[in-house]
Structure formats: structure tokens, C-alpha cells
Amino acid sequence: MSQNVNGSQGESDARSRAYWRATLRLTTVLLLVWASASFLPGWFADELNSVVFFGWPLGFYMAGQGSLIIFICIVWLYDRGMVRLEKRYGVKDEG
């Protein structure tokens, strides 16, 4: 579609690549958090259940509520992070 008017083609490509690498880094970190929140509470449920958290056994709390809150935070952080990356690398959202 449109060319980047401020720089040469090469510079723009390099910026795109750097933007994509940064995106991958952010995605990987958040996916690791996601995987831990998803699978560790189920795997270590017995151990966690021996801890009581406001009346809940902790394992039950995590699978029923805690992990869910972490998921919401991940998606929110991803949006914040991507907005920052777009600014830093001069990528404009189409809309």
C-alpha cells in the first residue's frame, strides 16, 4: 500500500523487523505467564490446597478465580505493550 515517506525502503524494513522482534519478545514473555497460570495450579493443586486464602483452599481459588484474573491482566498488558511498541517504532494503526 503506502510507502513510508520519511525514510528509504531499507530503513523502513529494518524498523519493521525490529518492531516484529520486539512483538515476539513481548508475546513470548506473556505466553510463559499464561502457561504457568493455566497449568501449574492444576498440576500442584494438592500442594496449593493446603494453603488457605480467605477461606478458599489456594488450589481451588487459583483454578476458579485467580488464574482468570491473571488472564485478564495478560490481555490488558499486551494491549498496553503493543501500543508502546507501535509508538516506539513509528507503526501507525490503520484505524
Partner 1 sequence: MSSQPAFFRRLGRYYLIYALVFVSFVGLLAVAEQFGLSPRWIGQIFLFLTIAIYAAIGVMSRTSDVSEYYVAGRRVPALFNGMATAADWMSAASFIGLAGTLYYAGFEGLAFVTGWTGGYVLVALLLAPFLRKFGQFTIPDFLGARYEGHFARVVGVFAAVLASFVYVVAQIYGVGLITSRFIGIEFEIGVFVGLAGILVCSFLGGMRAVTWTQVAQYLILIIAYLVPVAILSYKVTGVPVPQVMYGQVLHDLGVKELELFSEPRESAVRLLYQGRADEYARKIAALPESLTTERLALVQKANDLRAQGASAREIAVAERLLRDVPRTPDEARVKWDRVRQDSLARTMHPPPHAEAHPGADQAARDNARNNFIALVFVLMIGTAALPHILTRYYTTPSVREARRSVFWSLLFIFLLYVTAPAYAVFAKWEVYSSLVGSNIETLPHWVASWGRVGLVKIDDINGDGILQLAELSINSDAILLLVPELAGLPYVVSGLVAAGGLAAALSTADGLLLTISHALSHDLYYKMINPEASTQRRLVITKSQLLVVAVVAAWVASLRPDNILFMVGLAFSIAASAFFPALVLGIFWKRANKWGAVTGMIAGMGVTLLYIVRTHPFFGGSMGDAWLDIHPISSGVFGVSVGFVVIAVVSLLTPPPPPEVQALVDYVRMPDGRGKH
Is residue 92 at the binding interface for partner 1, with CB under 8 A as the rule?
yes
Please say which residue, 8 or 31, places its beta carbon nearer to partner 1: 31
Q: Which helix (H) or strand (E) covers residue 52, if one does?
A: strand 52-53
Q: How far apart are CA 12 and CA 74, in angstroms?
A: 30
**Burial classification of residue 62, based on how many CB atoms lie within 10 Å of its CB (0-12 exposed, 13-18 middle, 19 or more buried):** buried
Q: Any contact of residue 22 with partner 1 (CB under 8 A)?
A: no
| Largest interatomic CA distance in the chain | 62
Min CB(20)–partner 1 separation in Å: 6
Length of the chain: 95
Cβ 8 to partner 1 shortest distance, Å: 14
Count of CB atoms situated within 10 Å of the CB of 48? 20
9 binds partner 1 (CB under 8 A): no
- Binding residues for partner 1, rule: CB under 8 A, are 1-2, 4, 12, 16, 19-20, 23-24, 27, 30-31, 34, 37-39, 41-43, 45-46, 49, 52-57, 59-61, 63-65, 67-69, 71-72, 74-76, 78-79, 82-83, 86, 91-95
